A and B are shown apart, each in its own frame.
Chain A
Amino acid sequence: MQTSSLFILILALALIAYYTGLKRAQQSRRSSRLLALPAHYGYMTAMLSAFPALLLLLAWMIFEPAYLERQIELNLPASLLQGPADQLNLVINSVYLQIEGTGTADNPLLHKAAAAYNESLQKSRQMIGGLILLLGLSGIVFALSRYLTRLHARRRVEGMIRILLMACSGVAIITTIGIVFSVLFEALRFFESVSIIDFMFGTSWSPQTAIREDQVGSSGSFGAVPLFLGTILISLIAMTIAVPVGLMTAIYLAEYASRGFRSIAKPLLEVLAGIPTVVYGFFAALTVAPFIRNLGESIGLSVASESALAAGIVMGVMIIPFVSSLSDDVIAAVPQAMRDGSLALGATRSETIKQVIIPAALPGIVGGVLLAASRAIGETMIVMMAAGLAAKMTINPLEAVTTVTVQIVTLLTGDQEFDSPKTLAAFALGLMLFATTLILNVFALHIVRKYREQYE
C-alpha cells in the first residue's frame, strides 16, 4: 500500500469514528444529560482514532528506508559486504536499480537481494496497514462503549487542540536545534581532518582536493581568513552606503517630509526591500560591474571584472530600506517633548535632530545597523553572481574577492561524495556564519529592546 492510500485510510476511519461518536452522543442525550455538545463527542472519537495512527505512520515513514536497507544487507553474502564503504554503497545501489527494474546486473545474488527486498517491503506495508486499521478501529470501538458519554468531551478535545497548537509553536525550537546540530556535527567531523587553528587563522584557501592522492595539492588547504576578509570587505562597502543613506532617508521622512510625500516614498523604498536578491545579483554582475570597470579604466585604474566594489554597492542599496525602516521606528519613538524642548530653546530643526534626537535614538540605531550588518554578511546571491570565486588576501575593493557564503554554495553544488573534507568544510563555514549572525542578532535585539523600554 502507498503512503497516500494509508493516509486516506486514516482519514476515512476518522470520519467513520466522528459519525459514530456523534450518533452515540445524540442517542444518549435523549435519556440523560450530556456534558458537552454532541459534535464534541464526534471530534473526540475522530481524534482518538486518527492521532495514534498518524503518529505511527510518521514513525514508519522515517524508519522504513533504514529497515529495508538492513534487509538488503542481510540477504547479501558476506563477501560482498566486506569491502570499503563506498563499494558497499555501489552494491546496494545496484540492488535498488534491480528493484526499480532498470538494473542490468546478472549477478543472481543481486536478484535474490532484490526479491528479498520486495518481499520485506510487502510485509512491512501489510503490517503497517494492519496496525493502522487496528488503531483506527479501536477509536471507533471506544466510541461504541458506554464510557464515551461519561467523559467531558469538550475539555478533552480542547486539551488535544491545545497540545497541537503548542507542538506547532515548538517547530521554531526544533528548527533552531536542527540548524545547530546539522552544522555542528558536520563541522566537528571536518575539524577531525583539518585542525581548527588552521581553519580559523590559515591564510590560504584552496579546497580543490585532487582525485588521486599522489597529485599536486592533493590535501587542499582550508585557511578561511581570506574568506572572512572578503566577507568583511564587501559588507563594509555595503554598510558605508546603506548606513548614511538609510539614516538620512529615515530622518528626512520622519522629520521633514510632508504627509503626502511620505505616503508615496515609504512604499516605494519598501519595493527595494521586496526585490529578490537574485535580481540585484543580475544587476550587479551585468550592469554595475562593467560600469565600474569602464569608469576605472577611463581614469587609469585596473579593476577586476568581478570587483568587490560592485557587489558591495548593490548590496548596500539592497539594505538601505532595512536601515531606514528600523531607524524610522526608533526616531518616531523619541518622545515629542524632547523635540519641543529643544526647538523652544531656539535650536533649528537640524540642530535638534543632530544634538537631541540622534543621541536619544542612538542605541536603537546601532541595533538596526547591527541587524543590517548581519544581513549583509549572510547575503548570498549578490556575491554569488557579482563577486569572485578565488580566495585572495586583499582589502583592495577593486579586486575580486570571495565570501563565506559563495564558498558554501560552490562547495556544495555539483556532484561529490558527501564525506569529503571539501563538502564538510562548507558546514564548518556555515557554523561560522550562523554563529556570527546569531551573536549580532542577539546583541542587536537586546539593544533595541533595552532602548524601547527606556521610552515606554
Chain B
Amino acid sequence: MNSTEIVKRSLHKRYAREKRFQFYGRAAVMVGFVFLAMLVLDITIKAMPAFSVTEIKLEVALDRASLELPAEGEISRQMISAINFGGVIKKALRDAFPEITSRKQKKLLYRLVSGGAEFDLADRLSADPELVGNDSLALWVKADDDIDTFYKLDTRTSRVDDRQVVMIEKLQADERIRTAFNTTLFSAGDSREPEQAGIRGAIVGSFWTLLVTLLVSLPVGVAAAIYLEEFAPQNRFTDFIEININNLAAVPSIVFGLLGLAVFINFFGMPRSAPLVGGLVLSLMTLPTIIIASRAALKSVPPSIKEAALGIGASKMQVVFHHTLPLAMPGILTGSIIGMAQALGESAPLLMIGMVAFIVDVPGGILDSATVLPVQIYLWSDSPERAFTALTAATILVLLGFLTLMNAIAIYLRKRFERRW
C-alpha cells in the first residue's frame, strides 16, 4: 500500500470532518441569530398589552348640586379643586348599576375603575370650567389594572371577583367598555398604579442626561483626539495618556458610578438623582469611545491635504481647524452618536448616584431629580404587578426604538459623507 492509497483511504474521513466543522460554524452563527430573534419576539409579545388600555364609559353628573357647589354665581378655580371628585365618580358608578345595593358589592363596583379616574376628571374640569352645570357628561375613564388585564388578555388574577366579572359582562352588553390606545404611557410620569404610569418622565430624564453627556464629552473628546493625533510629542506622557484611555474603555461601568458617588456627590456636593451628575458620569464613560473614534477619523484624512495647506503657509493649528477637522467631522459625529447610544442604554453607574428614586414629576432641567429609560426598565421589572411586566417590555421597545434611530442616523451619516481618498 503506497502513500497515495493511505491518503485516499483517509480522504473520506477528512472530508466528513471538514463538513462537520463547517456545520459547527454555521450553528454558532445561528445561535446568535436565534437568540436575537427570540429576544425581540419575546419582548414584543410581552409589550403588546401595554399599548392598549381598557376604558369604562360613565355618565358623570356635573350639575352644581351634585358637585356641591353654590347654586348661583361665578365658580372659581379654588372651588373646582375642592370638589370631591372621588364621590362624583362613585355616584356615576352607582347610577350605572342601580341594582347594586349591598356595601360589599358597591366596594367591588368602585374597584372597577382606576384610582386615577378622579384626577383625570379634575384635570378636565379645571381645564374647561364650562363643563360645570352639565347634567350628565359621557366620560371614558380608565379601568383598574387588574380589570384591564382581565378584559384585554382574559387572564384572571385572584384580585378579580366573580361579581365583578358579572358587572363587566353587563358593561360589555351595553357597549360601555372598550380598549383604546394607551396615551398615558407617553404622557405621564411614573406611578405606583400601572394604568397611571408612563415613561414621559424617563424619556425627558434621558434627554437631559444625554444633553449633559454630549455637551461635555464631545468637545473634550474631540480636543483630546486632536491633541493626541496631531500635536502630541512621542514621549512617556503621551504613552501614559494612551494607556489610560485604553484602560478606561474597559473599566466596568459600575466603577464609574462609584467615582461619581465619591467625587461628584460626596466631595463636590452636587445633588443626588440629578441628570447633571448622571451626564457627567456618562461623559467620563463615553469619552474613550469618542476619543478613539475621533482619532481614527482624523487619521483617515490624507496627509497630502495637510501638507498642501502647510505648503501655502498655514500654521499647524490652522491646518487642523480649517482642513483636517472639517474633513474628519462625519467620522467624528458617527463615533459620537454610537457613544451616545451606549450612554443611553447604560444604567449601572446611574444606580449608584441615586437615579433610581421613584419620581412622579417630569424633570424640568438638569438639576431636578430624574430617572432615565433603562433605569425605569430596571425599576418596573421588579414590580410584582403583572401589568408592570407589559409596561417594562413596552419601555424596552421604546428604548430599542431610540437606539435603532440613533444607529440609523450614524449609518446614514457614514454612507452619505464617507469619502475614500
Which A residues fall within an 8 A CB radius of B? 62, 65, 154, 157-158, 161-162, 164-166, 168-173, 175-176, 178-179, 182-183, 185-186, 244-249, 251-253, 255-257, 265, 268-269, 271-272, 274-283, 285-287, 317, 320-321, 324, 346, 348-351, 353-354, 371, 374-375, 377-381, 384-385, 405, 408-409, 412-413, 418, 426-427, 430, 433-434, 437-438, 441-442, 445
Contact = CB atoms under 8 A, between A and B. Distances in A.
Given A154-B315, A378-B254, A171 B220 contact: yes
B263 interface: yes
Contacts of B287: 171-172, 175
Contacts of B392: 282
Contacts of A162: 227, 231, 317
B26 interface: yes
B146 to A, nearest CB: 19
A405 B252 contact: yes
Given A179-B259, A285-B381, A169 B241 contact: yes
A317 B224 contact: no
Contacts of A371: 250
Contact of B252 (A158, A248, A286, A437): A437
Contacts, number: 255
Contacts of A179: 251, 255-256, 258-259
Interface string B223-265: 1111110011000000011001111101111111011011100
Given A173-B241, A380-B252, A430-B255, A268 B33 contact: yes
Contact of B255 (A172, A354, A378, A412): A378
B125 interface: no
Nearest to B377: A278
A256 B252 contact: no
Contact of B258 (A176, A268, A272, A408): A408
Interface string B258-281: 110111001011000000000000
Specify which of B7, B231, B251, B392 lies most central, judged by the most chain A CB atoms within 10 Å of its CB: B251
B173 interface: no
Contacts of B46: 286
A406 to B, nearest CB: 10
A437 B35 CA distance: 28
B244 A173 contact: yes
Contact of A380 (B26, B348, B389, B407): B348
Interface stretch (B12-20, B82-90, B92-100): B12-20
A303 B141 CA distance: 43
B43 interface: yes
Nearest to A251: B25
State the main secondary structure of chain A at its contact with B. helix
B403 interface: yes
A433 B255 contact: yes
A412 B347 contact: no
Contacts of A168: 219-221, 223-224, 227
A49 B21 CA distance: 69
For the complex of A and B, the 9 pairs showing the least CB-CB separation, nearest first, are A378-B252, A252-B25, A276-B345, A182-B262, A248-B28, A168-B223, A169-B224, A350-B21, A380-B348
Contacts of A353: 21
Nearest to A183: B258
Nearest to A346: B7
Given A287-B42, A374-B250, A430-B258, A276 B393 contact: no
B48 interface: no
Interface in B9-53: 14-15, 17-18, 21-22, 24-29, 31-33, 35-36, 39, 42-43, 46
Specify which of A182, A247, A371 lies most central, judged by the most chain B CB atoms within 10 Å of its CB: A182
A182 B258 contact: yes
B374 interface: yes
B407 A274 contact: yes
7 contacts: A165-B226, A168-B221, A172-B287, A279-B345, A350-B21, A377-B252, A380-B252
Contact of A172 (B33, B261, B288, B374): B288
A441 B250 contact: yes
A279 B220 contact: no
B351 interface: yes
B232 A279 contact: no
Nearest to A285: B381
Contact of A277 (B344, B348, B354): B348
B341 interface: yes
Contacts of A380: 252-254, 348, 351
A65 B17 contact: no
Nearest to A69: B269
A255 to B, nearest CB: 8
B297 interface: no
Nearest to B35: A317
A298 B411 CA distance: 46
Given A186-B262, A282-B43, A276 B32 contact: no
A87 B261 CA distance: 23
Specify which of B254, B345, B382 lies most central, judged by the most chain A CB atoms within 10 Å of its CB: B254
Contacts of A351: 14, 17-18
A81 B408 CA distance: 60
Given A165-B226, A176-B248, A409-B254, 16 more contacts: A62-B268, A183-B262, A268-B32, A269-B29, A279-B39, A280-B39, A282-B43, A282-B381, A287-B42, A317-B35, A321-B32, A408-B352, A412-B352, A427-B262, A437-B255, A441-B250
